[in-house]
Chains A and B, each alone.
Chain A
Amino acid sequence: MDHRSPLERVLRALALTAIVVFFMFPIFWIVLMSLQTNETILRSPPSMSFVPTLKNYAAIISGELDSNAGSMSIHFMNNLLNSVLLSVFSVALALLLGVPAAYAFARHKFRGSEDIAFTLLSFRFAPPLLVLLPLTLYFQALGLANTYLGLVWVYQLICLPLILWIVRGYFEDISPDIEHAYRIAGHGWFATFRKIALPLAGPGIAAAGLLAFIFAWNNFIFALVLASADKQPVTVGALAFVTASGIQYGQIAAAIVMSIAPTLLLALWAQRYLVEGLSLGAVKG
């Protein structure tokens, strides 16, 4: 493998460059746009020479946006806050529900355990609207429509299978003898769960939580169907933003950058676990 011809090296380098350009260019370009005024964006031909400005970000943060029809107030920061709240609470709930269940599935092969685990897995693959549309009617009846609680509950559709299946794998990797040893030493099952199983599966739980956060953050359809403007996360909020006429393009770009930055940074941090998480534990990275 090490005896590569010079031609092959050059071709390889070219291919790698093309790949990086293709996949990084859109992000790079949107970041550039977010640092420009409308005037420089609209120049033809497009150019990369401009004086960067943070005005777009300032406008987004203050909520006072310039448009060609004058100033209007859109609280994109509110969407950002919603994204944070929804993702954090969804993951917290999914961990609270999913980790004990994952432990039960990993340690006790009780009747129906596999069926339940696979039912949860199948949620990951069922068309979300199938559940969401009837749910809108139920939510209205239950008073859950347009509440954080209702949304957090529905977000379990994405977070719970992920956490359940990844964390279960980590629990299964712990030798049962280690837990038996702690029990025999005189500790109850809960102490064993807390002092042995949880710390040993800790990295896996953290990774699963992080991934669930990313998926919750990136979700679009749940909030589109179930949330009205004041509860919408960035994914839905940004869409409304674009369709609102006359907003400056730089500001849209700034909003997009602020919306994707958190998940990109988290992904960099959790990259070691991404392969495992994305394949629901089928492939180890």
Chain B
Amino acid sequence: MSHIKLKNLVKRFKDTEVLSGIDLDVPEGSTLVLFGPSGAGKTVLLRCIAGAVEQDDGEVRIGGEDVTDVLPEHRGIGMAFQNFALFPHMDAFDNIASPLTACGKTADQIRAGVDTVARLLKIDHVLTHTPKALSNGQKQRTALARALVSHPKVLLLDDPLRNVDAKLRFEMRLELPRLLADQGATVIYVTQDYREAMALGDRIAVLDGGRIIQNGTPEEIYRRPATINIAKLFGDPTINLLDVVPQSDASGVYATLSDCRIQLDPGLSGNVGRECMLGLRPEALSFTTANEGVPVTIEAETPFNEKAVTLVTTLRKREILVSRPAETPAPASGTAHITIDPRDAVLFDRQTGVRLDPNGTSHAAEKAA
């Protein structure tokens, strides 16, 4: 019914291709997060789906129907813009009511509809204000209310938390998943914040340079990022990346770090001798009291609320970040040893930046998924 499907979507501005063949499938009622750096084409993609921008090639299907020839006002979509795009000459009430007036609701129905959503988003006390008189957070909620008020089957949210302050962003990040789940709509949510992406998405599609580089569950994106870039974008502190050259012997494939073996998946045997990068999530590393593991020197520790991050250096002065839950014991200074869970190690081709899949199929399988 409101299943969104994009097939080979292409959009050009003058001679530059901003979307080059996007395929995407968002099952009804699920939330897809479009993640990517600015200029990746996220906003244009959203606009193509909404009909505000016409694609040059390919098709957009909503509920199984090709909507290429359907004008934006007939697509039944709710959309919130990054810059809010509130109507400056109307008060908050009229802004929120605008989707309802379009479908010929009575004044009572409109009032009831606006009041409900305004209460839900806690802006019922500012409905008579014009956008100019609203705080940024109130603007953002008004824009969201306008998108939600007519209970659209498809919701497009273009980085709605981008322009609000950190505190509000934190609150909304907690609130939004419930809100979106209650709506039951198919949601496409654009963001540049990996935490938002992880918190909200049933799936995440990573967009860069007008192409989808990886499309998977948050878990997949985090644990098996398709490229070094994606690995770097997700996670805080960022993933440790170490130059290695995998080797093999009778006991399997391994890489060495400070003369210590890090056992790698035997499926990676095809990459022996290749210049690689080993990606190690800081939380996949842990200190050990035993004398096994990689010897390191503790350089500095930064405590956060929920975790502590320690900067250590190896014998060859390579820097590594180690993260652990707060209040867990760890050596404060001097030398220590860290152990690595080999299942959490990811290997990338240093040249192409692409992840090397243990089964030798690289990441193509995931991309198609």
Q: A residues engaging B (CB < 8 A)?
A: 175-178, 180-189, 191, 196, 199-200
Establish whether residues A187 and B85, one from each chain, have CB atoms under 8 Å apart when the complex forms.
no
CA of A200 to CA of B86 in the docked complex: distance in angstroms? 12
A179 to chain B, nearest CB (A): 9
Contact with A along B109-133 (1 / 0, CB 8 A): 0000000000000000000000000
Establish whether residues A180 and B72, one from each chain, have CB atoms under 8 Å apart when the complex forms.
yes
CA of A71 to CA of B71 in the docked complex: distance in angstroms? 70
Establish whether residues B73 and A196, one from each chain, have CB atoms under 8 Å apart when the complex forms.
no
Q: What residue in chain B is nearest A202 (Cβ atoms)?
A: B89
B120 to chain A, nearest CB (A): 18
Does B102 touch A at the CB level, under 8 Å?
Answer: yes
Establish whether residues B47 and A180, one from each chain, have CB atoms under 8 Å apart when the complex forms.
yes
Q: Which residues 64-88 of B sit at the A interface, judged by CB distance below 8 A?
A: 71-75, 77-79, 81, 83, 85-88
Q: What residue in chain B is nearest A178 (Cβ atoms)?
A: B85
| Interface bracket on B | 20 to 34
Q: What residue in chain B is nearest A196 (Cβ atoms)?
A: B87
Establish whether residues B98 and A185, one from each chain, have CB atoms under 8 Å apart when the complex forms.
yes
Inside 8 A of A181's CB, which chain B residues have their CB?
79, 81, 85-87, 146
Greatest chain B CB density within 10 A among A185, A188, A196 is at A185
Inside 8 A of A188's CB, which chain B residues have their CB?
71, 73
CA of A9 to CA of B78 in the docked complex: distance in angstroms? 63
CA of A182 to CA of B73 in the docked complex: distance in angstroms? 8
Establish whether residues A184 and B72, one from each chain, have CB atoms under 8 Å apart when the complex forms.
yes
Does B1 touch A at the CB level, under 8 Å?
Answer: no
Establish whether residues B52 and A180, one from each chain, have CB atoms under 8 Å apart when the complex forms.
yes
- Which of B52, B81, B85, B102 contacts A186 (CB under 8 A)? B102
Inside 8 A of B146's CB, which chain A residues have their CB?
181, 185
A-B contact pairs, 17 of them (CB 8 A): A177-B81, A178-B85, A178-B87, A178-B88, A180-B52, A180-B72, A181-B87, A183-B52, A183-B73, A184-B51, A184-B75, A184-B78, A185-B102, A185-B146, A186-B99, A187-B102, A189-B71
Q: What residue in chain B is nearest A180 (Cβ atoms)?
A: B52
CA of A141 to CA of B88 in the docked complex: distance in angstroms? 51
Does B150 touch A at the CB level, under 8 Å?
Answer: yes
- Shortest beta-carbon contacts, A-B, top 9: A186-B102, A177-B85, A180-B52, A185-B99, A181-B85, A183-B72, A185-B98, A186-B73, A184-B79
Q: What residue in chain A is nearest B103 (Cβ atoms)?
A: A186
A181 to chain B, nearest CB (A): 4
A206 to chain B, nearest CB (A): 14
B128 to chain A, nearest CB (A): 18
Inside 8 A of A189's CB, which chain B residues have their CB?
71
Q: What residue in chain B is nearest A188 (Cβ atoms)?
A: B73
Inside 8 A of A186's CB, which chain B residues have their CB?
73-74, 98-99, 102-103, 150
Establish whether residues B98 and A187, one from each chain, have CB atoms under 8 Å apart when the complex forms.
yes
Does B50 touch A at the CB level, under 8 Å?
Answer: yes
Inside 8 A of A184's CB, which chain B residues have their CB?
50-52, 72-73, 75, 77-79
Inside 8 A of B72's CB, which chain A residues have their CB?
180, 183-184
CA of A278 to CA of B72 in the docked complex: distance in angstroms? 39
A195 to chain B, nearest CB (A): 8
Known: A183-B71, A184-B51. 13 other contacts (CB 8 A): A175-B83, A177-B81, A180-B72, A181-B81, A183-B51, A183-B73, A184-B73, A185-B102, A186-B102, A186-B103, A191-B102, A199-B89, A200-B88
CA of A274 to CA of B178 in the docked complex: distance in angstroms? 54
CA of A182 to CA of B50 in the docked complex: distance in angstroms? 12
Inside 8 A of A185's CB, which chain B residues have their CB?
73, 98-99, 102, 146, 150
Inside 8 A of B51's CB, which chain A residues have their CB?
183-184
Q: What residue in chain A is nearest B98 (Cβ atoms)?
A: A185
Establish whether residues B83 and A182, one from each chain, have CB atoms under 8 Å apart when the complex forms.
no
CA of A21 to CA of B141 in the docked complex: distance in angstroms? 58
Q: What residue in chain A is nearest B43 (Cβ atoms)?
A: A177
Greatest chain B CB density within 10 A among A176, A182, A191 is at A182
Inside 8 A of B73's CB, which chain A residues have their CB?
183-188
A263 to chain B, nearest CB (A): 30
Greatest chain B CB density within 10 A among A177, A186, A187, A196 is at A186
B16 to chain A, nearest CB (A): 16
CA of A183 to CA of B54 in the docked complex: distance in angstroms? 14
CA of A199 to CA of B85 in the docked complex: distance in angstroms? 15
Inside 8 A of A187's CB, which chain B residues have their CB?
73, 98, 102
CA of A39 to CA of B146 in the docked complex: distance in angstroms? 74
